[in-house]
Amino acid sequence: MQDSLCEVAYHEDMGHSYYRIGLRTGWRGFVPGQFGMLEVPRADGILLRRPFSFARQQGDVTEIFYKKVGKGTEALSLVGVGRSLRLLGPLGQGFRETSSAGEGVGVAGGYGIAPFVQMAKQLKAKGRRLQLFYGARSKQDLFYIQEFKELEVKLYISTEDGSEGLRGRVTDLLDKTFANSPPERIWSCGPMGLLKAVQNWSQRKKTSCELSVEETMGCGTGVCLGCVVQDVQGHYRRACIEGPVFPGELLNLTD
Amino acid sequence: MTNLATSIGGLKLKNPLIAASGTFGYGEDLEQFFPVEMLGAVSTKGLSLKPREGNPMPRIVETPSGMINAIGLQNVGIEAFVRDKLPFLEKRGVVTIANIFGNTLDEYVEIAGILEKTSVPAVELNISCPNVKAGGMEFGNDPQMAAKVTEAVRRSFSRHLMVKLSPNVTSISNIAKHVEVAGADSLSMINTITAMVVNTKTRRPMIANGVGGLSGPAIRPIAVRMVAETFAAVKIPIVGIGGIVCANDVLEFMIAGSCAVQVGTANFMDPNACPRILQELEAYLQSASLASLSEVIGTLRR
């Protein structure tokens, strides 16, 4: 983990408020699910860095996939290629590998797709395959489809409006696919509703899951205590240090 | 060789930068960025008699040039601090300021009594946390109550006693005077300012606790004014706090009358904020041809 000034290698507007930005970190890689605290231009009274999970490592460039949702991401979206931004990372605990040599199973919702790009790369490099259940609002909110095809990912898509794949929830796809025996473990990243659904599903099927939580973050280094998530014993745990990926059995998720 | 050394009454510091309570854990978290003993001192996360879980999420929200927090004093409790956290700080030779708070007068006294038996050279009395019910605020808002808790802790803790003042009062210098008379060795000021942000879609406050404490550069001018006002009213030393992010901010507070400062929110923005500010201070001393930084303390011209 380090804090360094990273040049913007590329910055693409993907449409519908989604962007991907490549930063020259010089890293060799990261664990899928790990994140970084990125300094965004301090316009308009912006104070804190913003947390983003990493999508993939290509050479010395680390890619972040993000959606413009507020002041910080708005300021970030205007940053041009060649500029440099401070990035602190890689931070936190990523997804743990499964012991079996078979297929890994991921469930992504919305921009929670990011860590699965690197996950697919890493599994493929080991001669394994990612089975990915990808839910989004509609067709235009689906990204990295081409990349997943190239990485030989077994892709199952659902959209809320039915404009692509199954109309409905991504857990419906899980029910269909794993009617008999559930996978050893499910990795999931997405909005709270999805994480809860995956947690419930895993509990019902008596299997384990790992959930990547999205929380407001102040520092990313464990000192502000602003990003906690409650465990089943009622203790608050820091998402930036002990997470953002937690064993599903550990968390007491609320809205 | 530049001289950044300063002292808060009898408490000697190698430089004026103190990590503010609640922004630096118990001194271990930012070890991978710089050695903690590089700091003048560390004020610990607020310590209570029993461990506390703190408030539900969301706990923080960014505001223009600042942030509001309502962590709710999540901490390991005094016992675990002394057993598990203090040895690290002792080993590293850090000047440790134990920030403490109680729900009652007796709790304050009990915690101070436990710390009296340790090596901790200083206690910072939090009588001003805005985020917990009965978490000190009632002591910090009333001059008589502030004096009473200071006096009580004074009797059970013999070393340096710093009292952290709340800005959420009509006259901070009046509280300061009462605390001085009650036996405080120094004042640290200011704690966060109570504040609220409303989500206009849900019409609910942006943090679960409703109100929280505003910190960061947004509050700096208020803090500097309060330090200047209090410097004119009391004789005990003042430690300035409020949105310090660079050497110039440190100088502002020192000129206004602070003999040291606490850096808080800046640690969230940049884990290397303190070492960077120290470098800037050294560069300033050289360019200003000052032998010692402490020469600027209380030199405000009117």
- Distance, in angstroms, between A200 CA and closest chain B CA? 22
Q: Which domain holds residue A170?
A: 104-250
**pTM summary value:** 0.95
Q: Is A46 within 8 Å of B62 when comparing Cβ atoms? A: yes
Dihedral sign for Cα atoms in the order B266, B267, B269, B270 = positive
| Residue environment code for B77-111, b if the CB has 16+ CB neighbours within 10 A, otherwise e | ebeebbeebbeebeebebbbbbbbbbbeeebbbbb
- Distance, in angstroms, between B144 CA and closest chain A CA? 32
Per DSSP, helices labelled H in B117-217 are 137-141, 143-156, 172-181
Q: Is B53 within 8 Å of A236 when comparing Cβ atoms? A: yes
What is the CATH topology of the domain spanning B6-55+69-194+214-296?
TIM Barrel (3.20.20)
Reduced to 3 states, what is the DSSP secondary structure of residue B42?
strand
Quickly tell me which residue has 């839910």 as its tokens. Answer: A135
Which residues of B are catalytic, by number? 129
Same domain, A83 and A116: no
Same domain, A151 and A125: yes
Q: What length does chain A have?
A: 255
Mutate to test the interface with B, among A47, A233, A252 (most CBs of B within 10 A): A47
Residues with pLDDT less than 70, chain A: 99, 255
pLDDT of the residue at B141 = 85
| In-domain check, residue A53 | yes
Q: Is B58 within 8 Å of A219 when comparing Cβ atoms? A: no
Question: Which residues from B are below 8 Å from A225, CB to CB?
Answer: 22, 45, 54, 59, 71, 74
Nearest Cα to B150, choosing from B203, B112, B207? B112
Same domain, A206 and A108: yes
Question: Which residues from A are below 8 Å from B23, CB to CB?
Answer: 223-224
Same domain, A130 and A221: yes
pLDDT of the residue at B136 = 52
Q: Is B270 within 8 Å of A86 when comparing Cβ atoms? A: yes
The ipTM assigned to this model is 0.93
Which region holds residue A5: left if phi is over 0, alpha if psi is between -120 and 50, else beta? beta
Q: Is B58 within 8 Å of A44 when comparing Cβ atoms? A: no
Same domain, A152 and A28: no
pLDDT of the residue at B130 = 57
Q: Is A223 within 8 Å of B67 when comparing Cβ atoms? A: no
State which of A57, A91, A125 marks the end of a domain: A91
| In-domain check, residue A178 | yes
Among chain A residues, CA nearest to B31: A221
Neighbours of A31 (CB within 10 A): 18
**Chain A residues with CB within 8 Å of chain B CB:** 1, 3, 44-49, 72, 86, 88, 215-216, 218-219, 221-230, 234-236
Q: Is A230 within 8 Å of B24 when comparing Cβ atoms? A: no
Residues with pLDDT less than 70, chain B: 1-2, 129-138
- Distance, in angstroms, between A191 CA and closest chain B CA? 15
Same domain, A121 and A188: yes
Question: Which residues from A are below 8 Å from B218, CB to CB?
Answer: 45
| In-domain check, residue A97 | no
pLDDT of the residue at B129 = 58
Quickly tell me which residue has 């380090």 as its tokens. Answer: A2
pLDDT of the residue at A161 = 93
- Distance, in angstroms, between A219 CA and closest chain B CA? 4
Question: Which residues from A are below 8 Å from B216, CB to CB?
Answer: 47
pLDDT of the residue at B137 = 56
Structure tokens at A249: 């059995």
pLDDT of the residue at B103 = 87
pLDDT of the residue at B76 = 97
**Chain B residues with CB within 8 Å of chain A CB:** 22-25, 29-30, 32-33, 45, 53-54, 56-67, 69, 71, 74, 216-218, 265, 267-272
Strands A35-38 and A84-91: antiparallel
Domain positions in chain B are 6-55+69-194+214-296
Question: Which residues from B are below 8 Å from A233, CB to CB?
Answer: none
Domain containing residue A222: CATH number: 3.40.50.80
CA A164 to chain CA centroid, Å, is 21
pLDDT per position as a tens digit, A46-90: 999 999 999 999 999 999 999 999 999 999 999 999 999 999 999
Question: Do residues A189 and A116 lie in contact, with contact meaning Cβ atoms separated by under 8 Å?
Answer: yes
| In-domain check, residue A196 | yes
Tally of domains in chain A = 2
Same domain, A80 and A113: no
Reduced to 3 states, what is the DSSP secondary structure of residue B98?
strand
pLDDT of the residue at B133 = 53
Same domain, A136 and A233: yes
Same domain, A59 and A21: yes
- How far apart are the C-alpha atoms of A167 and A139, rounded to whole Å? 11
Nearest Cα to A133, choosing from A170, A96, A163? A170
Q: Is A223 within 8 Å of B268 when comparing Cβ atoms? A: yes
| In-domain check, residue A216 | yes
Mutate to test the interface with A, among B33, B60, B131 (most CBs of A within 10 A): B60
Per DSSP, helices labelled H in B170-238 are 172-181, 220-231
